[in-house]
Amino acid sequence: MNVRYDMRSIASQFQIYGEFINAGPYGSGHINDTYCAIFNQGGTPVRYILQRINQNVFKTPVALMENVERVTTHISKKGAGHPDFSRCGLTLIPARNGRAWHCDEGGNYWRTYIFVENARTYDAVESPQQAFQAARAFGRFQKLLADLPAPRLHDTIPGFHHTPQRFAKLEAAIAADPANRALLAKPEIEFALNRKAMTGVLLAAGLPERVTHNDTKLNNVMLDDKTGEGICVIDLDTVMPGLAPYDFGDIVRTSTSPAKEDERDLSKVQMQFPMFEALARGYLATAAEFLTKAERQLLVFSGKLITFEIGIRFLTDYLEGDTYFKVHREGHNLDRCRTQFKLVESIEQQEDTMKKLVEKL
Ligand code: ADP
Ligand code: GN1
Ligand code: MG
């Protein structure tokens, strides 16, 4: 985060009781600016999450917040009565003007959530239990939203998982080579170009449109510190109409390899079968009841496809000069692309066994 914001003044725009103590950058998301703010409430320090919506990425913040309000309200209605319901879903704190967001003088959109305490996110998977819990929580999330009343949610990023469009964007970046980096990414470009044929498969399968999360990476679900249970799905900016396998695919991408997304030692990157088995079981524990046969059959393929898709997005951003994802070192997006492509290869090698397992479950 390069720009400094007056967090005291921003926090004062929300309906939070008590005195502001401080606020600092928080988490490891690639998109929004996330802060943890602490308030003194009658002698007790209480934390809140404040976020500035990245408007380079999300062009329609008001529509986005309308989605988030509808989704959080729907989920919280279902949890009413549950003793721990405020930790099972995100809760927005309204701004002083009654809206779910505050727009500052600079045109930045801010929102505030209750901090989900005694739980945390993980940037890399550590055990099959975690994979199971994360996948189960994302499956439950899809299930909870299956009866979201009309109208259709806004598309906060049109074509977000339209892999052929993502591929066309990569081809354009290779041709224009605006940052003069194409030569530095020759093997990765070749890897991508060799796999163009798979990009249209999911979209051509005629799957039903559902409400999906679309960014189901492991660090977008909070696991309870004591029980390890996947309790709260977060990062709701991309919740919109989509296909169920998108969500399963991104869980495979982020919860089967023990390495971090930007690991440089590629020997550490691999699709570990026990993690896959656990996550397939976790996802199906909550999603089996609504998935169609065709959706089920494409689950393993979607793991490969979504890993490839995010890989080409990192590669495109590298070629374009790092304008989309936050980067913290030179070549960061290329490092991220490499781990994704290594994982695609590892999935390719095990795809048949993975499919057999899903058929059996
Ligand atoms: P981004 O879109 O940039 O990924 P996220 O909404 O995922 O932003 O938030 C970034 C990180 O902040 C998360 O990975 C999580 O660790 C933390 N976080 C977000 N919301 C909450 C919350 N309500 N309670 C506790 N931690 C949170
Ligand atoms: C971004 O917001 P975050 O860090 O959870 C991105 C996802 C990518 C992911 C790769 C809106 O997710 O699509 O899969 O990085 N979010 C957006 O780690 O582009
Ligand atoms: Mg996130």
pLDDT at 220 over 90: yes
Atom 1 (ligand 2) nearest CA: 30
Average the pLDDT over 295-304 and give the result: 98
Percentage of the chain with pLDDT > 90?
Answer: 95
Q: Is 238 in the pocket of ligand 2 (CB under 6 A)?
A: yes
Predicted confidence at residue 96, as pLDDT, reads 97
At 1, the pLDDT band (50, 70, 90 cuts) reads low
Predicted confidence at residue 80, as pLDDT, reads 72
Query: What one-letter code names the amino acid at 248?
Result: F
Q: For residue 250, how far is its CA from the centre of ligand 2 (angstroms)?
A: 10
How far is Cα 236 from Cα 206, in angstroms, rounded to an integer? 25
List the structure tokens of 311: 């890989």
Q: What is the pLDDT of residues 51-88, one digit of tens each?
A: 999 999 999 999 999 999 999 999 999 877 777 777 88
pLDDT at 166 over 60: yes
- For residue 253, give the ligand 2 atom closest to its CA: 14
pLDDT at 3 over 90: no
Q: What is the pLDDT of residues 96-133, one digit of tens each?
A: 999 999 999 999 999 999 999 999 999 999 999 999 99
Three-state SS sequence of 142-185: HHHCCCCCCCCCCCCCCCCCCHHHHHHHHHHHHHHCCCCCHHHH
Phi (first) and psi of residue 233, to 5 degrees: -85, 130
Predicted confidence at residue 322, as pLDDT, reads 98
Q: Are 303 and 343 in contact (CB under 8 A)?
A: no
* Residue 204 DSSP code: G
Atom 7 (ligand 2) nearest CA: 215
Q: Is 220 in the pocket of ligand 2 (CB under 6 A)?
A: yes
pLDDT at 4 over 90: no
Task: Please tell me the number of the ligand nearest to residue 166's CA.
Answer: 2
Average the pLDDT over 295-320 and give the result: 98
Predicted confidence at residue 2, as pLDDT, reads 60
Predicted confidence at residue 76, as pLDDT, reads 93
* Residue 260 DSSP code: -
